Amino acid sequence: MATNTDIDSARLLREQYKDGSKLSARIRLHQRFSTNRYGLMRWMFDHFRIPENASVLELGCGTGILWRGSVRVPPGWRMILTDMSGGMIRETRANLARLGHRFTFAQADAQALPFRDASFDAVIANHMLYHVPDIPRALGEVRRVLKPSGFCYAATMGVANMREIDELAARFFSVPRMTESTARFGLESGEAYMRRAFSEVKLERYPDSLVVTEAAPLMDYICSMRVRSRVSDEQVADLRRHLENEIAVRGEIRISKDTGMFVARR
């Protein structure tokens, strides 16, 4: 039976992703201030082992960021992009309309995929498995819909990701960290789930960091997170003053990143 905490967390998740506005604030910070200019999405495409003619399923596609950058999508790929949020699907459809690739869209929960067994060459689940209440069930679904030769790609963050932001969370918001994502399905905690679901699992890491030179986009990032609903306006104002002061004195704020992707063979 669902507890009050489960119901609360499902409500916050729906609110967080009812549309792409909060996610876009976080993506903007990474796009503007990441030191590795190669690009995470381009790097992911380098690691895909997907045939030239293939059916590709994406779970939790968000605003469709994976497909929007300078990536080469073979003309023989048919992509089905899914997300549990109807608002996200509407935005992604609009965001990708002009690309001309063979996209179709569907609202779907990763824990109960409306697709036949062994129907995809690849399933991509980027930065979303940590939101899924029953992770083994979702990975069981991924395995079921993959062809025997298929691969699952799941990007996520490690515990050291943006640890400076967690230090600010502890100091200004009195919470141990801004988000529980890496504890649920991170580069460390996710590996055991992946090994239980798939025959071969490899972890690839993408080296990167942030050098942020403006306080406002960093505050937008922090305020886009679920923690915002648990802290007062005064706490937020204190943190804002601190960040503005840091930038005025040092000219920048350096933030570590720890990101990567599991590449798993069915």
Ligand X SMILES: C[S@@+](CC[C@H](N)C(=O)[O-])C[C@H]1O[C@@H](n2cnc3c(N)ncnc32)[C@H](O)[C@@H]1O
Please report, as ranges, the residues that interact with ligand X according to CB under 6 A.
17, 23, 59-62, 65, 83-85, 88, 109-111, 126-128, 131-132
Q: How far is the CB of 240 from ligand X (least distance, A)?
A: 24
We find the least distance from the C-beta atom of residue 152 to ligand X, in angstroms, to be: 14
Nearer to ligand X, 14 or 250 (CB): 14
Work out how close the CB of 175 gets to ligand X at its nearest, in angstroms, rounded to a whole number: 19
> 144-165 burial, b if ≥16 CB within 10 A, otherwise e?
ebbeeebbbbbbbbbeebbeeb
- Joined tokens for residue 260: 């990567």
Cβ closest to ligand X, residue 40 vs residue 253: 40
CB atoms within 10 A of CB 250: 10
Residue 222 near residue 212 (C-beta atoms within 8 A): no
111 three-state secondary structure: coil
User: What is the rounded CA–CA span in Å between residue 120 and residue 150?
Assistant: 7
For residues 48 and 46, give the distance between their C-alpha atoms in angstroms, rounded to a whole number. 6
In the complex, which residue's CB is closest to ligand X? 62
Of 23 and 231, which has the nearer Cβ to ligand X?
23
Residue 226 CB, shortest distance to ligand X, in Å, is 11
Q: Which CB atom, from 23 or from 178, has the smaller least distance to ligand X? A: 23
Phi and psi, residue 213, nearest 5°: -115, 5
Shortest approach of ligand X to residue 89 CB, angstroms? 9
For residues 87 and 246, which CB has a smaller minimum distance to ligand X in the complex?
A: 87
Nearer to ligand X, 59 or 145 (CB): 59
Mark out the alpha helices in 39-145 (DSSP H runs): 40-47, 65-68, 86-96, 135-145
- Per-residue DSSP letters for 8-67? HHHHHHHHHTSSSHHHHHHHHHHHHHBS-TT-HHHHHHHH----SSEEEEEES-TT-HHH
CB of 251 to ligand X, least distance (A): 29
